[in-house]
Amino acid sequence: MLPEPTESPERSRPSPAGFVAFVVPGTNKATKAAGDRAPSVACAAVPERFRAPTGTNDVLPPESRRWELLVDCFARLVERAGYGFVSTPVFEDAGVFSRVGESTDVVRKEMYDFEDKGGRRLALRPEGTAPVVRAWVQHRPPLPWKAWYVAPSFRYERPQAGRYRQHLQLGVEVLGTPDPDVDVEVISLAWDLYESLGLRRLLLLVNSLGDEVCKPPYLARLRAYLEARAPSLCEEHRERWADNPLRVLDCKRSACREATRDAPRMTDALCGPCGQHFDRVQEGLGALRIPFAIETRLVRGLDYYTRTTFEVQASALESAQNGVGGGGRYDGLAELLGGPPTAGIGFGTGVERILLACDAEGTFPVPHARLDAFVVDVTGGDVARDLTAELRRAGLACDRSFDERSMKAQFKAADRSGAVVVIVVGPDELASGSVKLQSLREEEADGQAVPRDAVLPALRARLGRS
């Protein structure tokens, strides 16, 4: 279990390079809808044109520390399972996405695509799987290949709680093995992440979409079924049911739900190998004591999925935003992107949606403390400079004030920093070659005088790290 991020005396290892750049500046109506704090007075004075685009967020301390801890928790979890970090460009050739989802809303309506100065059609990444598979096709690392990523994704959607035009996505991909036990591993990694954050009101839905043998005849049956009921479908699918019949099953509108109540189910049409594969996945989840339900309407939002698909829902959230993550198998995706036939499976999960679920369940709160110590120096700053550097090199989190501020102002800064201990350097301490250690979190009248060369062991003792 990941500990609650309250008093955090030691910072965890840094998140992957570039993490800070993944957060787009700005505060807007979308953040209010998600329950974020109202913009400050300073923000209100910023001209509209200089605020971040609609659907993007500022993530500032101390909230940003929670993002760091979440990413770090995910990295530790998946690296223990043998996954390596991979980074792909924010933009790709638009064909990377259009070839694998031409009939989907992600490609047709939501993708940010543009022509660059060289006449190339490019697109901002709307999801993480296709770019990672493209990277494997291009570089061909040995199989099986297990990769994880943290990446901003972009979709032109109507901003609302848990749904933004830029979101931070975490995910894993495994290429090179069709073994159903890999499906179980990937699902269990997602499940373990959510449980490690303290989430308990979770529902795992699983389904199988078959393969190139059993899926085409099933789609023919489904199209015949929908053709007779097309006038009863919702307005969107009344025109599009033939292009993407599976999406009709996934539609949440009452018209489509009613019209497809008796629709043929893919799980009833699985060929022998696909049925055995799905049985093995269910057996594996049961062996790991991961509760699940079979949802025959679960199809996911992109066209490349085969066999296993899954989604994890947070019951504490409203139904429109309760999907915190999901994924599935995509055994034909590498071939679509110019590579050899290669089995693959993965999942993705959004940081913003996870944190909404954590807030709804009252778990994984914003951390209160960031620093071990704060140096208050009213003697000119030389001691603060040297002592701060010494403590940082010893692995402690330490900060100081600048600009020769008063002791009162420096104590206020220390309190705001969340430091556990204040190290005071005044004229008396300077003359005697000592400093004073004083707790900011407990009642302490006079503090503890410590010789200058004994600060490090004394501070460690106070922090319980002697």
CA dihedral in degrees (223, 228, 233, 235; nearest 10)? Answer: 90
The full set of domain ranges for the chain reads: 59-214+270-361, 373-462
Ranges 126-130, 155-159, 372-376, 384-388: which has the least confidence? 155-159
Mean pLDDT to the nearest integer, 30-49 = 51
Give the distance, in angstroms, between the CA of residue 431 and the centroid of all CA atoms in the same chain.
Answer: 52
pLDDT score recorded for residue 7: 40
pLDDT digits (tens, 9 = 90+) for 165-209: 999 999 999 999 999 999 999 999 999 999 999 999 999 999 999
User: Measured between alpha carbons, how far is 197 from 199 in angstroms, rounded to an integer?
Assistant: 6
pLDDT digits (tens, 9 = 90+) for 251-287: 888 899 999 999 999 999 999 999 999 999 999 999 9
Mean pLDDT to the nearest integer, 324-342 = 95
Q: φ and ψ at 92, to 5 degrees?
A: -135, 170
Question: Chain-wide mean pLDDT for the chain?
Answer: 87
More confident residue, 238 or 340: 340
User: CA gyration radius for the chain?
Assistant: 27
Q: Which residues contact 428 (CB under 8 A, 6 or more apart)?
A: none
Q: Which residues contact 38 (CB under 8 A, 6 or more apart)?
A: 32
Is 373-462 in the same CATH topology as 59-214+270-361? Answer: no
Superfamily of domain 373-462, CATH level 4: Anticodon-binding domain (3.40.50.800)
Mean pLDDT to the nearest integer, 28-34 = 39
- pTM comes to 0.85
pLDDT score recorded for residue 444: 67
pLDDT score recorded for residue 315: 93
Closest among 175, 98, 178 to 138, alpha carbons compared: 175
Per-residue pLDDT band at 442 (split at 50, 70, 90): confident
More confident residue, 10 or 456: 456
Closest among 134, 129, 111, 131 to 121, alpha carbons compared: 111
Q: Choose the CATH number for 59-214+270-361 among 3.40.640.10, 3.40.50.1820, 3.90.100.10, 3.30.930.10.
A: 3.30.930.10
pLDDT score recorded for residue 168: 96
Report the percent of the chain where pLDDT is more than 90. 64
DSSP lists the bridge partners of residue 436 as 424, 449
User: Measured between alpha carbons, how far is 90 from 333 in angstroms, rounded to an integer?
Assistant: 20
* Distance, first Cα to last Cα, the chain: 25
Other C-beta atoms closer than 10 Å to the C-beta of 45 total 8
